[in-house]
Amino acid sequence: MQTINDVEIKGAIKRFGSNTVLDGINLEVKKGELLTLLGPSGCGKSTTLNLIAGFLDADEGDVYIKGNKVTNVPPYKRDLGMVFQTYSLFPHMTVYENLDFGLKLRKVAKSDKQKKISRALELVKMAGLENRYPRELSGGQRQRVAIARALVVEPELLLLDEPLSNLDAKLRHELRAEIKRLQKEIGVTTIFVTHDQEEALSMSDRVVVMNAGRIEQISSPTAIYNHPETEFVFQFIGKSN
Protein backbone atom coordinates (compact mmCIF):
# COMPACT_ATOMS: atom_id res chain seq x y z
CA MET A 1 0.00 0.00 0.00
CA GLN A 2 1.30 3.42 -0.87
CA THR A 3 1.37 5.85 2.03
CA ILE A 4 0.07 9.28 1.21
CA ASN A 5 2.14 12.08 2.69
CA ASP A 6 0.26 14.75 4.59
CA VAL A 7 2.00 17.43 2.57
CA GLU A 8 3.97 17.29 -0.65
CA ILE A 9 5.63 20.09 -2.52
CA LYS A 10 6.74 19.25 -6.02
CA GLY A 11 9.13 21.50 -7.91
CA ALA A 12 7.98 24.75 -6.34
CA ILE A 13 9.41 27.92 -7.80
CA LYS A 14 8.41 31.30 -6.41
CA ARG A 15 9.54 34.67 -7.70
CA PHE A 16 8.94 38.15 -6.37
CA GLY A 17 9.65 40.32 -9.40
CA SER A 18 13.06 39.29 -10.67
CA ASN A 19 13.98 37.72 -7.34
CA THR A 20 13.66 33.92 -7.32
CA VAL A 21 13.05 33.17 -3.64
CA LEU A 22 12.18 29.48 -4.00
CA ASP A 23 14.18 27.69 -6.63
CA GLY A 24 12.79 24.19 -6.99
CA ILE A 25 11.55 22.98 -3.61
CA ASN A 26 10.66 19.29 -3.24
CA LEU A 27 9.39 18.21 0.14
CA GLU A 28 7.37 15.41 1.70
CA VAL A 29 5.90 15.72 5.18
CA LYS A 30 4.83 12.48 6.82
CA LYS A 31 1.73 12.01 8.93
CA GLY A 32 2.28 12.88 12.57
CA GLU A 33 5.83 14.13 12.26
CA LEU A 34 7.33 17.38 13.46
CA LEU A 35 9.33 18.66 10.53
CA THR A 36 11.41 21.81 10.87
CA LEU A 37 12.44 24.24 8.15
CA LEU A 38 15.77 25.64 9.29
CA GLY A 39 17.85 28.31 7.61
CA PRO A 40 19.09 31.87 7.78
CA SER A 41 16.81 34.87 7.50
CA GLY A 42 15.60 35.38 3.92
CA CYS A 43 16.24 31.80 2.71
CA GLY A 44 12.55 31.20 1.95
CA LYS A 45 11.17 29.44 5.04
CA SER A 46 8.08 31.62 5.46
CA THR A 47 7.45 31.63 1.72
CA THR A 48 7.44 27.83 1.77
CA LEU A 49 5.02 27.80 4.71
CA ASN A 50 2.80 30.34 2.98
CA LEU A 51 2.60 28.13 -0.11
CA ILE A 52 1.39 25.28 2.08
CA ALA A 53 -1.07 27.53 3.92
CA GLY A 54 -2.37 28.98 0.67
CA PHE A 55 -1.47 32.61 1.35
CA LEU A 56 0.79 32.47 -1.71
CA ASP A 57 0.74 30.50 -4.96
CA ALA A 58 3.83 29.02 -6.55
CA ASP A 59 4.79 30.26 -10.02
CA GLU A 60 5.69 26.71 -10.94
CA GLY A 61 5.17 23.40 -9.20
CA ASP A 62 2.38 22.20 -6.95
CA VAL A 63 1.41 21.65 -3.34
CA TYR A 64 -0.54 18.56 -2.27
CA ILE A 65 -2.27 18.06 1.06
CA LYS A 66 -3.23 14.47 1.78
CA GLY A 67 -2.66 13.61 -1.84
CA ASN A 68 -4.89 16.36 -3.23
CA LYS A 69 -3.53 19.22 -5.25
CA VAL A 70 -4.53 22.37 -3.39
CA THR A 71 -3.84 25.00 -6.03
CA ASN A 72 -6.67 27.58 -5.75
CA VAL A 73 -7.97 26.12 -2.47
CA PRO A 74 -8.20 29.08 -0.05
CA PRO A 75 -6.36 28.88 3.32
CA TYR A 76 -9.48 28.40 5.43
CA LYS A 77 -10.41 25.29 3.46
CA ARG A 78 -7.00 23.65 3.93
CA ASP A 79 -7.69 22.28 7.41
CA LEU A 80 -4.68 23.82 9.06
CA GLY A 81 -3.78 25.96 12.03
CA MET A 82 -1.04 28.56 11.83
CA VAL A 83 0.96 30.55 14.37
CA PHE A 84 3.14 33.51 13.48
CA GLN A 85 6.12 35.15 15.14
CA THR A 86 4.16 38.15 16.41
CA TYR A 87 0.76 39.79 16.45
CA SER A 88 -0.99 36.45 16.29
CA LEU A 89 -3.90 37.45 18.53
CA PHE A 90 -6.68 39.96 18.00
CA PRO A 91 -5.92 42.63 20.63
CA HIS A 92 -9.54 43.71 21.12
CA MET A 93 -10.77 40.19 21.86
CA THR A 94 -10.39 38.17 25.04
CA VAL A 95 -8.59 34.83 25.04
CA TYR A 96 -11.97 33.09 24.78
CA GLU A 97 -13.11 35.29 21.90
CA ASN A 98 -9.82 34.77 20.08
CA LEU A 99 -10.36 31.01 20.13
CA ASP A 100 -14.06 31.34 19.41
CA PHE A 101 -13.28 33.35 16.27
CA GLY A 102 -11.68 30.39 14.55
CA LEU A 103 -14.59 28.15 15.44
CA LYS A 104 -17.13 30.61 14.02
CA LEU A 105 -15.77 30.12 10.54
CA ARG A 106 -16.22 26.37 10.98
CA LYS A 107 -19.80 26.44 12.26
CA VAL A 108 -19.20 24.40 15.41
CA ALA A 109 -22.31 23.68 17.50
CA LYS A 110 -22.63 26.01 20.48
CA SER A 111 -22.64 23.16 22.98
CA ASP A 112 -19.33 21.86 21.63
CA LYS A 113 -17.65 25.25 21.58
CA GLN A 114 -17.03 25.72 25.27
CA LYS A 115 -15.66 22.19 25.53
CA LYS A 116 -13.31 22.59 22.60
CA ILE A 117 -12.04 25.96 23.84
CA SER A 118 -11.44 24.67 27.37
CA ARG A 119 -9.62 21.62 26.06
CA ALA A 120 -7.37 23.70 23.77
CA LEU A 121 -6.49 26.07 26.62
CA GLU A 122 -5.75 23.15 28.92
CA LEU A 123 -3.38 21.70 26.33
CA VAL A 124 -1.27 24.87 26.44
CA LYS A 125 -1.68 25.31 30.21
CA MET A 126 -3.79 28.45 29.94
CA ALA A 127 -7.00 27.21 31.53
CA GLY A 128 -8.68 29.87 33.67
CA LEU A 129 -7.41 32.83 31.64
CA GLU A 130 -10.34 32.90 29.22
CA ASN A 131 -11.36 36.47 30.07
CA ARG A 132 -7.96 38.12 29.78
CA TYR A 133 -7.08 40.41 26.92
CA PRO A 134 -3.80 39.84 25.05
CA ARG A 135 -2.29 42.99 26.64
CA GLU A 136 -2.83 41.38 30.05
CA LEU A 137 -0.68 38.39 29.10
CA SER A 138 3.08 37.86 28.92
CA GLY A 139 4.72 37.16 25.56
CA GLY A 140 4.92 33.46 26.33
CA GLN A 141 1.28 33.31 27.38
CA ARG A 142 0.25 35.08 24.18
CA GLN A 143 2.07 32.53 22.07
CA ARG A 144 0.47 29.75 24.09
CA VAL A 145 -2.94 31.22 23.32
CA ALA A 146 -1.98 31.59 19.66
CA ILE A 147 -1.10 27.90 19.61
CA ALA A 148 -4.39 27.05 21.33
CA ARG A 149 -6.26 29.10 18.74
CA ALA A 150 -4.54 27.16 15.97
CA LEU A 151 -5.38 23.86 17.66
CA VAL A 152 -8.98 24.56 18.69
CA VAL A 153 -10.28 23.64 15.25
CA GLU A 154 -8.46 20.30 15.49
CA PRO A 155 -6.54 20.86 12.27
CA GLU A 156 -4.84 18.11 10.30
CA LEU A 157 -1.81 20.31 9.96
CA LEU A 158 -0.12 22.78 12.27
CA LEU A 159 2.17 25.45 10.79
CA LEU A 160 4.40 27.36 13.21
CA ASP A 161 6.41 30.27 11.79
CA GLU A 162 9.13 31.18 14.31
CA PRO A 163 6.63 31.19 17.19
CA LEU A 164 9.38 31.46 19.82
CA SER A 165 11.69 34.01 18.21
CA ASN A 166 10.40 36.97 20.17
CA LEU A 167 10.61 35.32 23.58
CA ASP A 168 13.48 35.41 26.04
CA ALA A 169 15.83 32.43 26.27
CA LYS A 170 14.22 30.85 29.31
CA LEU A 171 10.70 30.95 27.89
CA ARG A 172 11.98 29.77 24.54
CA HIS A 173 13.43 26.66 26.14
CA GLU A 174 10.30 26.04 28.16
CA LEU A 175 7.97 26.39 25.20
CA ARG A 176 10.18 24.26 22.98
CA ALA A 177 9.69 21.31 25.29
CA GLU A 178 6.02 22.07 25.60
CA ILE A 179 5.37 22.27 21.88
CA LYS A 180 7.16 18.99 21.40
CA ARG A 181 5.14 17.29 24.15
CA LEU A 182 1.89 18.72 22.83
CA GLN A 183 2.70 17.72 19.28
CA LYS A 184 3.32 14.11 20.27
CA GLU A 185 0.31 14.07 22.58
CA ILE A 186 -2.17 15.05 19.89
CA GLY A 187 -0.14 13.67 16.99
CA VAL A 188 -0.83 16.59 14.69
CA THR A 189 1.45 16.81 11.65
CA THR A 190 3.53 19.92 12.28
CA ILE A 191 5.82 22.11 10.22
CA PHE A 192 7.94 24.33 12.42
CA VAL A 193 10.04 27.20 11.07
CA THR A 194 13.12 28.56 12.80
CA HIS A 195 16.49 30.15 12.10
CA ASP A 196 17.83 28.68 15.36
CA GLN A 197 19.76 25.46 14.75
CA GLU A 198 19.67 24.39 18.39
CA GLU A 199 15.90 24.77 18.47
CA ALA A 200 15.57 22.74 15.27
CA LEU A 201 17.86 19.97 16.44
CA SER A 202 16.23 19.67 19.85
CA MET A 203 12.61 19.55 18.71
CA SER A 204 12.30 17.87 15.35
CA ASP A 205 11.74 14.43 13.95
CA ARG A 206 13.34 15.66 10.73
CA VAL A 207 15.08 18.88 9.78
CA VAL A 208 15.08 20.56 6.38
CA VAL A 209 18.04 22.89 5.98
CA MET A 210 17.33 25.67 3.52
CA ASN A 211 19.66 28.15 1.89
CA ALA A 212 18.85 30.81 -0.70
CA GLY A 213 15.60 29.24 -1.88
CA ARG A 214 16.90 25.70 -2.07
CA ILE A 215 16.95 22.67 0.18
CA GLU A 216 20.45 21.67 1.24
CA GLN A 217 19.63 18.58 3.29
CA ILE A 218 16.69 16.71 4.82
CA SER A 219 17.66 14.39 7.68
CA SER A 220 17.11 13.48 11.29
CA PRO A 221 18.62 15.94 13.78
CA THR A 222 21.43 13.50 14.58
CA ALA A 223 22.28 13.01 10.93
CA ILE A 224 22.22 16.76 10.28
CA TYR A 225 24.56 17.27 13.20
CA ASN A 226 26.91 14.34 12.62
CA HIS A 227 26.76 14.04 8.85
CA PRO A 228 26.24 17.41 7.20
CA GLU A 229 26.02 16.75 3.47
CA THR A 230 27.05 20.16 2.22
CA GLU A 231 29.54 22.82 3.22
CA PHE A 232 26.62 25.14 3.95
CA VAL A 233 25.01 22.73 6.41
CA PHE A 234 28.37 22.12 8.06
CA GLN A 235 28.94 25.85 8.54
CA PHE A 236 25.38 26.67 9.56
CA ILE A 237 25.04 23.91 12.12
CA GLY A 238 28.50 24.52 13.52
CA LYS A 239 27.71 28.17 14.12
CA SER A 240 26.43 28.83 17.62
CA ASN A 241 24.00 31.62 18.42
Which residues make up the interface to Mg ion (CB under 5 A)?
46
Query: Please, which residue, 123 or 159, has the CB nearer to ligand ADP?
Result: 159
Query: Please, which residue, 153 or 215, has the CB nearer to Mg ion?
Result: 215
Minimum distance, C-beta of residue 235 to ligand ADP, in the bound complex (Å): 17
Minimum distance, C-beta of residue 127 to ligand ADP, in the bound complex (Å): 33
Q: How far apart are CA 111 and CA 109, in angstroms?
A: 6
How many residues bind ligand ADP, per CB under 6 A? 10
Minimum distance, C-beta of residue 113 to Mg ion, in the bound complex (Å): 32
**Contact letters for ligand ADP, residues 39-58 (x by CB under 6 A):** x-xxxxxxx-----------
Minimum distance, C-beta of residue 161 to Mg ion, in the bound complex (Å): 6
**Contact letters for ligand ADP, residues 100-119 (x by CB under 6 A):** --------------------
Minimum distance, C-beta of residue 42 to ligand ADP, in the bound complex (Å): 4
**Contact letters for ligand ADP, residues 7-46 (x by CB under 6 A):** ---------x----x-----------------x-xxxxxx
Q: Which entry of Mg ion, ligand ADP, none binds 143, CB below 5 to 8 A by partner kind?
A: none
Query: Please, which residue, 37 or 120, has the CB nearer to Mg ion?
Result: 37
Q: Which entry of ligand ADP, Mg ion, none binds 219, CB below 5 to 8 A by partner kind?
A: none
Query: Please, which residue, 21 or 208, has the CB nearer to ligand ADP?
Result: 21
Q: Which entry of ligand ADP, Mg ion, none binds 98, CB below 5 to 8 A by partner kind?
A: none
Query: Please, which residue, 49 or 89, has the CB nearer to Mg ion?
Result: 49
Query: Please, which residue, 50 or 141, has the CB nearer to Mg ion?
Result: 50
Q: How far apart are CA 44 and CA 23, in angstroms?
A: 9
User: b/e string for 195-228 if b means 16 or more Cβ within 10 A?
Assistant: bbbebbbebbbbbbbbbebbbbbbbebeebeeeb
Long-range pairs for 200-206 at CB < 8 Å and ≥24 separation? 200/36, 200/38, 200/224, 201/225, 201/237, 202/176, 203/34, 203/36, 203/176, 203/179, 204/34, 204/35, 204/36, 205/33, 205/34, 205/35, 206/33, 206/35, 206/36
Chain residues binding ligand ADP by CB under 6 A are 16, 21, 39, 41-47
